[in-house]
Structure 1
């Protein structure tokens, strides 16, 4: 395949370099597509963690689009005839297959652990390390001049911020497309080889590109004065003014819950983006992340302590002859009960588990029927308190003291 857009190859690359992001050292990933015939990078996306569907869709959307002629990819792009990927679950997910299938682009699933079948993108993965990453601060495989131990992994001294590293990486992509001259191209750059190729380019309309590279939320939504209700939250946009009652459909980038794209349910026309209403600030998100980190550390310590106690309870003594070994854990009955209460959540500190704001029951309405207060025989004035619930009734001693004849006379008199 010697013509442009005949075949693309896509892959993830875990970059061997550390950068700083929010006070932590992270190893970024890059997801990119490259044209096999002209060796031109058509699109790339960088994430500070292992990429998922959103990274693949972002790189694919940039690769298909040609709206940025002066960007790092130039006029390179369009609709490919074939896309080759390995068995990565992100590349073969239903969203990517649906996006490419809607554009009539077949996806070739290559067998696992066969990098030679997609040698163009594998060569790109090697070149980015040899040509770019080795000269960046935080490169993990850099040689040292002394035999002293390397700094502890995770130190932030000398590391590039994530934004600056991404800018440098995109500058290298621009250099690769516009200045690098691979031998197979006969001394031309990938951009020159791309522009010299007379093969027609099939561009994707922006409306289709926006629709088919997003995931559909399913079902119609109704615009209200509060915005669009999706996943238990409202999303608003300035274009919604005066459109109350319009039925719309929601499309979104996976894992990007801060923004959605809204389309008309009847015509499919793109109405505009909508952002999360009353979104949390960066300080609030940082505070929540610190609280979650503290909770994780507490649970890790509790798990380690439980594992140590479990191993201690399962230790047996050594024996020198045939017989059953003896358990070495010596515990009193009180210690066992206390530890069982803590392990099952029924510890002695029940005051902390109580509800301090428990609302007492209100007085019963006057229309309800109330129990009749009966007087006790020992209190003829009728002011005696009735017996507590569950107390057996007191036998009538006066009836027991009378004889059977007297009792019969009383019964006859009643009749």
Structure 2
């Protein structure tokens, strides 16, 4: 094919290159430039408009020679490809991927396994000595196997070989949820606080349960417990989140949310929490388990609280340590005299929550504090009547009880209150609501009108000294049982000698025959079945009105009995 020559390009036309220009044209990636250029040149060739000037322009734009451009075009005409020919290389097959998974990503172990299989196949080929049979192909080198792993498996797949699904998820890309308005969605979670505090002279690790608004990053409610929380902590934090006022702990932040997003915790999915939110028509979105990225707002709050507040407290257990002992994660056990009391810790945590809402400037909020973002949002807030909070954020067993002169009977206990003296008639039908596990007080409501009558406390409650004495007794019994179990385990667990080759280990502990007989005799003396004497008192004759089993009839021999022939 002959190519028409065209006159030198006019710099003003914008098609050719400016000969006097000192700045070279930008060089596009060669592979992408080649595919686009070959497609364009083929289109010009089909219309008969392809010239050497077009090829020269493509060569200068892709930083290749003119001969290379003609070679690209020739490969596209005859072979139908516009990209470089792929070189044949060793790839990771599903069978090799399964081997790597079995060896937890150890490529060297897989390579040794391939070499052993090749040696065995080669030995079998030599023994068979079959004419015309193909010699088994050698396995790839270890460097080739490593290169194939890097090219065929992405970083997440390579991490999953050694660390599993949790390691693979570190390489995932997570999308952000669209920005919403205040009270459009809340997120809730429990946070285990890695700080030791003192409660009744015992070291405990507190937990915090809090709700956060996704749009303004404002903490709407929180509750702290010295142990793993349950439904009562959720209801207490929810009550603080729903109510708002200038005199409340969280100020004007609060109200009814449009949605509450939680994980699949059994306490969050309990009937009590669903009933409390369902009374205000607030749906609960339960997210899949072990997917913290789906509720990133509260997870980011957990991370910020640990780095910005918990790490600076005495008794923080994740502090760096100078120890080289494996598994050491603490900075040394803090003496009990330096630890905070639980009320002091709660006070400081509530102060930090106030600082987070009112003084912490967030980059995600454009340099504003959560309170400023909350106040500048014009979305209307739906408030809840405070009397309804007591009615719907408490657990109700659904039973109707009677108010007597002894009080209200609940869980086989009597509860009394000052309002019962002259303020209620005996025989009034009431319903009881309370926080789960908070059995020291209950809230009493009229069963007919639903009016809150008052709070009732446990009658004849044990004193603090009695409770402490009972707890000390239980702890002592627990320690005695633990020592007995440990001693029995040491006596019954056999010990064996270490071995240096494949053989049955020898059991340790020499024992004479006299010691064995003595131990067996002691065991018989403590066995109730051995000490029983069933023939000591012979049984008496059964009464005449008892129906006893008939005695077996005698037979004449192995043949049928005589009664059968009659």
| Among 376, 383, 391, the residue aligned to 1:196 | 376
Deviations 1:316-345 (A, max 9, x none): 9x9x999xx99987243431034446xx9x
Q: Which residue does the alignment assign to 1:278? A: 460
- How far apart, CA to CA, are the structure 2 residues paired with 1:165 and 1:153? 18
Name the SS of the counterpart of 1:5 in structure 2.
Answer: coil
Supply the distance in 1 between the matched residues of 2:188 and 2:526 (Cα, whole angstroms). Answer: 55
Deviations, residues 19-77 of structure 1 (Å, cap 9, x unaligned) = 1111111111110000000000000011111111111111111111114x244411100
1:321 and 1:235 mapped to 2: Cα distance? 70
- Partner Cα distance (2:410, 2:334) in 1: 38
CA distance in 1, matches of 2:417, 2:244: 27
1:248 aligns with one of 393, 414, 430: 430
Contact 1:53-1:96 at 8 Å conserved across structures: yes
Residue of structure 2 equivalent to 1:81: 258
RMSD of aligned residue pairs (Cα, Å) = 3.0
Asked if residue 114 in structure 1 is aligned to residue 281 in structure 2, the reply is no
Provide the rounded CA distance (Å) in 1 between the counterparts of 2:321 and 2:249.
33
Residues 120 and 231 (structure 1), Cα distance of their counterparts in 2 relative to 1, 3 Å cut = same
Partners of 1:327 and 1:306 lie apart in 2 by: 16
Flag the 1:155–1:299 CA change in 2: closer, same or farther, 3 A. Answer: farther
Could you list the per-position Cα deviations for residues 244-286 of structure 1 after superposition, in whole angstroms to 9, with x for gaps in the alignment? 1111000110000000000001111110110001111111111
Matches for 1:150-299 after TM superposition, within 5 Å: 153=333, 155-242=335-422, 243-299=425-481
Which one of the candidate residues 335, 352, 367 is aligned to 2:522?
335
CA distance in 2 between counterparts of 1:326 and 1:201 reads 75
Which segment is superposed worse, 263-272 or 214-223? 214-223
Distance 1:73 1:336, change over 3 A: same
Distance 1:321 1:121, change over 3 A: closer
Partner of 1:387: none
Larger CA Rg, structure 1 vs 2? 2
Q: Is this contact kept in 2: 1:72–1:173, CA < 8 A?
A: no
The equivalent residue for 1:24 is: 202
User: Cα deviation per residue 1:372-393 (whole Å; 9 max; x = unaligned)?
Assistant: xxxxxxxxxxxxxxxxxx9x9x
Once residues 301 and 78 of structure 1 are traced to their aligned partners in structure 2, the CA distance between those partners, rounded to angstroms, is 54
What residue in structure 2 maps to residue 131 of structure 1?
Answer: 308
Pairwise CA distance, 1:168: 0.3
Q: Is the 8 A contact 1:262 1:274 kept in 2?
A: yes
| CA contact 1:217–1:252 (8 Å) conserved in 2 | no
Select the residue among 283, 286, 302 that pairs with 2:484.
Answer: 302
Q: Structure 2 CA distance, aligned partners of 1:102 and 1:247?
A: 23
CA distance in 2, matches of 1:11, 1:37: 17
Q: Which runs of 5+ in 1 are unaligned?
A: 347-389, 393-415
Quote the residue 1:44 is aligned against: 222
Q: 2:273 aligns with which of 96, 107, 121?
A: 96
Is contact 1:18-1:140 (8 Å) kept?
A: yes
Structure with greater proportional helix content = 2
Aligned twin of 1:56? 234
Q: Residue in 2 aligned with 1:396?
A: none
Sort the Cα spacing of 1:298 and 1:116 in 2 relative to 1 into closer, same or farther, 3 A.
same
Q: 1:321 to 1:6 in 2, by over 3 A?
A: closer
Cα 1:116–1:331, aligned 2, differ >3 Å: closer, same or farther?
farther
Aligned residue pairs, count: 341
Report Cα offsets for 1:114-148 as digits up to 9, x if no partner.
11111100000011011111111111122357889
Q: Distance in 2 between matches of 1:216 and 1:18?
A: 35
Moved more, 110-119 or 33-42: 110-119
Structure 1 counterpart SS, 2:493: helix
Q: Distance between the aligned counterparts of 2:465 and 2:231, measured in 1? A: 28
Partner Cα distance (1:285, 1:108) in 2: 41
Aligned twin of 1:382: none
C-alpha contact (below 8 Å) 1:315/1:328 kept by paired residues: no
Secondary structure, aligned partner of 1:157: helix
Could you tell me whether the CA contact under 8 Å between 1:71 and 1:174 is conserved in 2? no
Which residue pairs with 2:317 in the alignment?
140
2:115 alignment partner in structure 1? none
Structure with higher strand content: 1
TM superposition shift of 1:213:
0.8
Q: For the residues of structure 1 that align with 2:185 and 2:503, how far apart are their CA atoms?
A: 73
Query: Cα 1:152–1:127, aligned 2, differ >3 Å: closer, same or farther?
Result: closer
